Amino acid sequence: MNIVVGVGDMKVSNDPDAVLVTYALGSCIGVGIYDPVAKVGGVLHYMLPESEIDPVKAVKNPFMFGNTGIPLLFKETYRFGAVKKRLKILVLGGAQILDQNGLFNIGKRNHTVLRKMFWKNNIIVDFEEVGGTVNRTIKLEIKTGEAIMKVSGTEVRKIPWI
């Protein structure tokens, strides 16, 4: 059963029949985390790096921003029994899609906020594919932890992270 993670959204599950999927990550970042022992996984699809851009929106939808969505993703998986040291982490997106001249660099800024947060919290990424000018889709199977990436709607690859 596919559970869609929309833009500015997060889903966490321990249902073995669930497959978390988020589509068309362009400048947005998709963070997938999985605990292979607890069989708990989560996916976050955030749009912007920092909630200070719009504090009112951040209160209504903290998953829209990296600095508020990322901690909530981890906390929610812990609630389902995940343990930080067992977590496998993948990061996709951060492309330069609509901003061809790099004026705003949203993709790079989205990636930078994640890297800073992970560095401060001693979190190691197991698989990462960011940047470029393509969009990416992630599918995460809760039963096995298998993750599939689709690039620009065509190329499909199993992610080597578990």
Which pLDDT score, from 0 to 100, does residue 101 have?
A: 58
How many other C-beta atoms are found inside a 10 Å radius of the C-beta of residue 24? 16
Over 90: is that where the pLDDT of 29 sits? yes
Summary mean pLDDT of the chain = 94
Which pLDDT score, from 0 to 100, does residue 99 have?
A: 54
Q: Is 112 a catalytic residue?
A: no
Q: How confident is the model at residue 155 (pLDDT cuts 50, 70, 90)?
A: confident
Among 5, 19, 25, 28, the active-site one is 28
More confident residue, 68 or 160: 68
Q: How confident is the model at residue 98 (pLDDT cuts 50, 70, 90)?
A: low
Q: How confident is the model at residue 104 (pLDDT cuts 50, 70, 90)?
A: low
Mean of pLDDT values over 13-30: 97
Over 90: is that where the pLDDT of 105 sits? no
Which pLDDT score, from 0 to 100, does residue 4 have?
A: 98
Contact yes or no for 159/148 (Cβ under 8 A): yes
Contact yes or no for 29/108 (Cβ under 8 A): no
Mean of pLDDT values over 3-15: 98
Which pLDDT score, from 0 to 100, does residue 103 have?
A: 55
DSSP code string of the chain = -EEE--TTEEEEE--TT-EEEEEEESSSEEEEEEETTTTEEEEEEE-BS-GGG-HHHHHH-GGGBHHHHHHHHHHHHHHTT--GGG-EEEEEE---SS-TT-SS-HHHHHHHHHHHHHHHTT---SEEEE-TT--EEEEEETTT--EEEEETTTEEEE----
pLDDT digits (tens, 9 = 90+) for 40-93: 999 999 999 999 999 999 999 999 999 999 999 999 999 999 999 999 999 999
Query: What pTM, to 2 d.p., does this model score?
Result: 0.94
- Residue spans per domain, the chain: 2-158
- Class of the CATH-defined domain 2-158: alpha beta
